[in-house]
Amino acid sequence: MFTFSLRKTSESNVQGFILRNISFFIPYLNDCKIQFTILIKLLCIFWIRGKPIVRNSAFFTITHFSLLFQNNFTLNFTLKQMYLHFVQRLKKKNNPIDQQIVNYLISTLVQIFGIDLIISYQHVFFSIQTLGIHLQNNLLLNERLERKLLLSNKNFAKQNEKINIFADWKIIHFLTFIIKVLSTYVKCTNSTLFPLVYPLVEILLGIIKLYSNMNFIPLRLKCIKFCIELIKRCQVHVPIVPKVIHIIQMLRVKKKYKKGDCTFDLRFSLTINEKEFHVKLHEFLVQKVCSVLMSYFNCYSMCVAFPELSLPIILLLKHEIKHNDYLSTKIRKPVMFLCKKVKEHACWIQNKRETLRIAPGDINDFLTFKDQAFLSPLGSYFRSPE
């Protein structure tokens, strides 16, 4: 009866009222699988397409179902339906309004996936496996195209348009969802979902490798930020510094670009057209790259081995800005500021290390000085409003 009422009613207040009161009928649906499946599908439709009041009511009802009937069939079916409706809702393009809706859907879906991590593992594993198969096929196709085009002396950029399926907001939102699930529920190596972290890292590094062109710098930065999120939340190490420095090396202004105001928004862009490149955009991108690299250093900022970790990276960056004649003064400035800040923090850690009364074998915590994070140079930098 309530499913019929939901389908025939278009008023959001009435729909919200019905959804809030469906919970009283939940105990009677325990043995009625057909009615249960119909209702869950309908709730997922309202969760995806309804107005904010209807969305919230539908989500709370789904959560009530999942918590009350914590069995394999109920939770499996619920996760599958929510996952399918979420994927179908994703669009190829992005804008501020769609981004807010997607953020809401991701946050609610992450909560449902946290009810039973063993069942959620199966769904996340299948998602990562599907992405991995597509990425492997695209990498192989990319290598074959490169060989053919090198032999035929044709332009690879035009042929490369066929394999740009990962430069899509559907994939980015989907990756955001998986990253959120892992970063929320993986706190140590004993976590149920921890074995899925490194396969996901390999996929992110594979996407960065696949799109090594200068036009895909925003996409590469997004993947690098995903890796930093995993480093920060899951306590794993991901070698992303060479990828970041490669972007700085690509941003050499070898030819004269037109001067203009930078109106480019990285939040809603995955690619950059050749016509959009100008001097201001190069400066803007270098600032963003340095900001990303600073976030990477912040993940290891309280580690006792921070000076040794940061030294080769700083030497490499200094060598790049010293011997690269194509880097302008404005582009070198944020890189020099980054080197200065990291070196200052390394000296701070070294001073703290000299007064530490613990033997190296007795250090069990990776972030040894995490209690003094607010007093550190990097801590004060990230605490500042700038």
> Based on the domain organization, do 136 and 275 belong to the same domain?
yes
pLDDT in tens, 189-232: 889 999 999 999 999 999 998 888 888 999 999 999 999 999 98
Task: Of 4-13, 202-211, 315-324, give the lowest mean pLDDT range.
Answer: 4-13
Average pLDDT for residues 345-371, to the nearest whole number? 70
- Tell whether 248 is covered by a domain: yes
Q: In terms of domains, do 380 and 261 share one?
A: no
Same domain for 231 and 159: yes
Kindly state whether residue 286 falls inside one of the protein's structural domains.
Answer: no
Q: Could you tell me if 314 and 262 lie in one domain? A: no
Domain end point (choices 281, 314, 333):
281
228 in a structural domain: yes
Picking from 246, 281, 316, the residue at the C-terminal end of a domain is 281
Q: Are residues 109 and 85 in the same domain?
A: no
In a domain, 97, yes or no: no
Residue 139 near residue 61 (C-beta atoms within 8 A):
no
In a domain, 74, yes or no: yes
Residue 322 lies in a domain: yes
pLDDT at 355 over 80: no
Query: How far is the C-alpha of 86 from the C-alpha of 184, rounded, in Å?
Result: 19
Q: What one-letter code names the amino acid at 204? A: L
176 and 120 in a common domain: yes
List the structure tokens of 383. Answer: 């605490």
Q: What is the pLDDT of residue 57?
A: 86
Does one domain contain both 337 and 263? no
**Are 334 and 250 within one domain?**
no
Structure tokens at 278: 């100008």
- Shared domain for 135 and 228, answered yes or no, is yes
Confidence category of residue 102, pLDDT binned at 50, 70, 90: very high
My answer on whether 186 and 70 are in the same domain is: no
**Amino acid type, 179:** I
Are residues 194 and 60 part of one domain? Answer: no
Of 247 and 34, the one with more pLDDT: 247
| Mean pLDDT along residues 108-129 | 93
Domain boundary at 89, 118, 153, which? Answer: 89
Domain match, 114 and 208 both = yes
Contact call for residues 162 and 95 (beta carbons, < 8 A): no
Which domain range does residue 257 map to? 105-281
Q: What angle do CA 297, 301, 304 make, to 5 degrees?
A: 125
Please tell me which residue, 331 or 43, carries the higher pLDDT value.
43
Which residue in the block uniquely carries the two structure tokens 């990230």?
Answer: 382
Domain-embedded: residue 289: no
pLDDT at 361: 56
Residues 6+ apart with CB under 8 A from 8: none
Structural domains in the chain (count):
3
State the pLDDT confidence band at 158, using cuts at 50, 70 and 90.
very low
Is residue 159 within 8 A of residue 232, CB to CB? The reply is no
Whether 96 maps to a domain, the answer reads no
Query: Could you tell me if 135 and 166 are in contact, meaning their C-beta atoms sit under 8 angstroms apart?
Result: yes
